[in-house]
Amino acid sequence: MAELTAVGYERLLQLLSNDEKTAGERFFMLRGKLLTFFEGRRLSPAEDLADEVFERVARIIERGEEIRDVNKYVFGVARFVALEAFQKTPSASKEEMIERRSKMPAGLTFDRQKETNECSDLMRSCMRNCLLQINEEKRTLLLNYYEIDESTGNHIKQRKKLASQHNKSIGALQKEICLLRQHLSRCAHDCIERESE
């Protein structure tokens, strides 16, 4: 981070924590999350993009702008940096990224308009295999979470009911579903990559 000034860096660390050691740890945790953010969007080099985010935030802090939640602010800046990086990506590479994304599950559903039958069958097969790898209780929970009663169309009430049936808060349920989706997404992505080779 050559362009990050000492003053901006110090103020950024102070926003993360008043304790120097804790601030350093939080800085590197935040940097790790940024790397994951950019790598997940297939933008590279992720390290340079993360550094760019910190440089921009440090410059903003140096100008005296008040930042209430540094983590949210950093990711707000990261979204702009990602958009700029995507716009600088050559068209062929963009098409490849879009094609890869269209092969990935969004939640538990797929965009059928963009898929060929072969690709669709592969995705269904991979998703089915990945779902079977999850224990039955969690699999049922995940499927029930996304099952919407068409008569009411009110998924919020259904999810609250589901949370209470499992003795969880709605937040705990959402966190568990998020973790399960991440696991499924990685599993399906790996499966599709293996089968496509």
Q: What is the pLDDT of residues 129-146, one digit of tens each?
A: 888 888 988 888 888 887
Residues 129, 36: Cα–Cα separation, whole Å: 26
CA angle 145, 76, 72 (to 5 degrees): 70
* Helical (H) or strand (E) element with 117: helix 117-133
Output phi, psi for 18, to 5 deg: -75, -25
DSSP characters over 1-24: -TTS-HHHHHHHHHHH-SSHHHHH
| Mean model confidence pLDDT for the chain | 77
Distance CA 101, CA 84 (A): 19
Q: Give me the pLDDT at residue 146, please.
A: 75
Pick from 121, 110, 123, 44: nearest CA to 81: 44
Q: How many CA atoms lie within 13 A of 55 on its CB side?
A: 11
Question: In this structure, what DSSP letter does residue 109 have?
Answer: B
Q: pLDDT tens digits for 10-54?
A: 888 888 888 888 888 888 889 989 998 888 888 888 888 998 999
- Cα angle: 70, vertex 65, 83; to 5 degrees: 60
What φ, ψ does residue 106 adopt, rounded to 5°?
Answer: -105, 105
Q: What pLDDT is stored for residue 53 in this prediction?
A: 92
168 φψ region: left (φ > 0), alpha (ψ -120 to 50), beta (else): beta
pLDDT (tens digit, 9 = 90+) per residue, 76-110? 999 989 888 887 766 445 455 555 554 444 444 44
% the chain with pLDDT above 70: 75
C-alpha torsion 51→53→55→57, nearest 10: -150
The pLDDT-based confidence of 113 (bands split at 50, 70, 90) is very low
Q: What is the pLDDT of residue 92?
A: 42
Domain boundaries, the chain: 6-89, 103-196
